Structure 1
Amino acid sequence: MKSTVKFLAIGVLGVVLGVASARPWSSISTVKDRLTQSVAGKIPIDAVRETPAPGLFEVQSGGDIFYTDATGKFVVLDGRLMDLDKKLDLTKASIDKASAINFGTDLPLQLAIKEVKGTGKRVMAVFEDPACPSCRILHKLLSQMDDVTIYHFVYPVIDPTGGAYKVKATLCAPEANRVAIWNTFMDGGTVEGDVNCDASAVGTIMDAGKKLGIHNTPTVFLQNGQRLVGALPPDQFVAALDEAAPR
């Protein structure tokens, strides 16, 4: 959304609150109507919500969050709304909720390369690209983990042409061999294999990724629907994975 919203008038938080406090609070529907008129259809306004900060409204546009005042003329972009008393990042909580999915229905799990280790109780789906350095960092971490079920989705966005062989060599292999082949490619190795099968599943996966708003790799979905983008610090990643696992 960053490139899309450059046309919006940008006000600092103090200006927003100052403008809002100078006039009566508006209803959410009124703020949404005013903001929709201000952006003139250039970005979707999916939801508007009050925040704990008087006169400041949270706006959801797809998986993005920004803030506006009661007039819909001033916005705060790329900022974080923090609750200093509770030490909470309210923006992160809203982004996590807006970008979450239904793990069981939104993902084409039948097209993934499924890897089960140990009990498999901690479940995740990983959209990854062999040409992505961050993907390889995450893949190394995953290789060291036990009691996980990983749905690997081949997602060659960095070098679609160069990655075509690796993707086809994996998907054209017998199902029992796919995990080992894919892991070899993700570890930087090479495998000779058949690439003359129907690999149309790649297109279906790419379409699903676009529909889910996946622009960067790696993108991980936990079984509670939470989305994690990029190679997080290992302790943060494991903590999120454990939190999402059934008790």
Structure 2
Amino acid sequence: MFKTTASAARSAAFWARTAALALPLGLALASGAQADEASIRKNLADRMGNLPRIDEISKTAIPGIYELRMGTDILYSDEDGNFLIEGALFDTRTKTDITKARIDKLTAVDFAKLPLKDAVVIKQGTGARKMVVFSDPNCGYCKKIERDLVNVKDVTVYNFIIPILGADSVLKARDLWCAKDQPKAWRAWMIDGQPAAKAAEKCDTAALDRNMALARKHKIQATPAVIFEDGSRAPGAIPAEQIEKMLAAAKKG
């Protein structure tokens, strides 16, 4: 049915009044959130001078609780900055670790932008699937994951050598990077314990310096650190079964 002119006028008047009421309410909510953010920043700056700079403050699903993002680190606070909460925020309804999901998103790596030319490349089978491993040549867990990777099919592994475990790691990294056959030398050392030949004095090892800078950029402070094509990361010597699952998930993504 069509509305009469009077009915249409009453309807228009109703929505006009609703909009007039909603606008101040929306402004009040926005100004309230801004006031909370200002209060949080001021109080924490006054009381906790050593706290890292807060890059972003946003509401959580819990009334009165805000997320504080500092780089890729997450804390939580009340609306006045009187209390700080460190730990995981967990949704019991969906069984989701909200904090982990947020950090995973913040730390995701753009795989396409990684300087793969600075890695020791090992291709297995078709090499269709791709992954990156940051490794130190003296890292026991790196050797463990290398042994597991031997059994993973149709994958290309890009090994970024980062000598973070001391002076001997620097020497071994140089010898491995400068080897005539890098993949063979890498596997021989990491799996069989066979040292690479001593590097020539004129060997260009600038890639190792770039690898260290890359690790710092992505806050990789321990080895092994694994990155998949979808940007997801996994710390530690994850087993072959988990590697397979994450490779499959990365391909789907």
Give TM-score scaled by structure 2 length. Answer: 0.78
1:29, 1:93 → 2: CA distance? 25
User: In the superposition, relative to structure 1, how do residues 80 and 42 fare at CA in structure 2: closer, same or farther (>3 Å)?
Assistant: closer
User: In the superposition, relative to structure 1, how do residues 99 and 30 fare at CA in structure 2: closer, same or farther (>3 Å)?
Assistant: farther
1:236, 1:34 → 2: CA distance? 44
Q: Which residue number in structure 1 is paired with residue 183 of structure 2?
A: 179
Q: Which residue number in structure 1 is paired with residue 110 of structure 2?
A: 102
C-alpha deviation, 1:41, in angstroms: 7.3
Contact 2:179 2:197 in 1 (8 A): no
Greater share of helix: 2
User: In the superposition, relative to structure 1, how do residues 62 and 194 fare at CA in structure 2: closer, same or farther (>3 Å)?
Assistant: same
2:237, 2:33 → 1: CA distance? 37
2:246, 2:220 → 1: CA distance? 19
2:227, 2:197 → 1: CA distance? 30
2:163, 2:105 → 1: CA distance? 27
Contact 2:135 2:142 in 1 (8 A): yes
Please say which structure displays the higher CA radius of gyration.
2
2:121, 2:32 → 1: CA distance? 48
Q: Secondary structure at the match of 1:163?
A: helix
Picking from 120, 130, 133, the partner of 1:126 is: 133
2:211, 2:105 → 1: CA distance? 23
CA-to-aligned-CA distance 1:172-209 (integer Å, 9 cap, x gap)? 123xx101101122223323243321212111111111
Question: Partner amino acid for 1:190?
Answer: P
Aligned residues: 219
User: In the superposition, relative to structure 1, how do residues 62 and 181 fare at CA in structure 2: closer, same or farther (>3 Å)?
Assistant: same
> Could you tell which deviates more after superposition, 236-245 or 219-228?
236-245
Q: Secondary structure at the match of 1:72?
A: coil
Picking from 38, 56, 68, the partner of 1:33 is: 38
C-alpha deviation, 1:241, in angstroms: 2.1
Q: Which residue number in structure 1 is paired with residue 230 of structure 2?
A: 224
Give TM-score scaled by structure 1 length. Answer: 0.80
Q: Which residue number in structure 2 is paired with residue 93 of structure 1?
A: 101
Q: Which residue number in structure 1 is paired with residue 142 of structure 2?
A: 135
What stretches of structure 1 of length at least 5 have no aligned partner? 1-23
1:27, 1:194 → 2: CA distance? 63
Q: Which residue number in structure 1 is paired with residue 194 of structure 2?
A: 189
Whether 1:49 and 2:55 are equivalent positions in the alignment is: no
User: In the superposition, relative to structure 1, how do residues 201 and 118 fare at CA in structure 2: closer, same or farther (>3 Å)?
Assistant: same
1:206-221 alignment, distance < 5 Å: 206-221=212-227
Question: Partner amino acid for 2:98?
Answer: L
User: In the superposition, relative to structure 1, how do residues 214 and 28 fare at CA in structure 2: closer, same or farther (>3 Å)?
Assistant: farther
Question: Partner amino acid for 1:90?
Answer: I
2:82, 2:252 → 1: CA distance? 44
Q: Which residue number in structure 2 is paired with residue 145 of structure 1?
A: 152
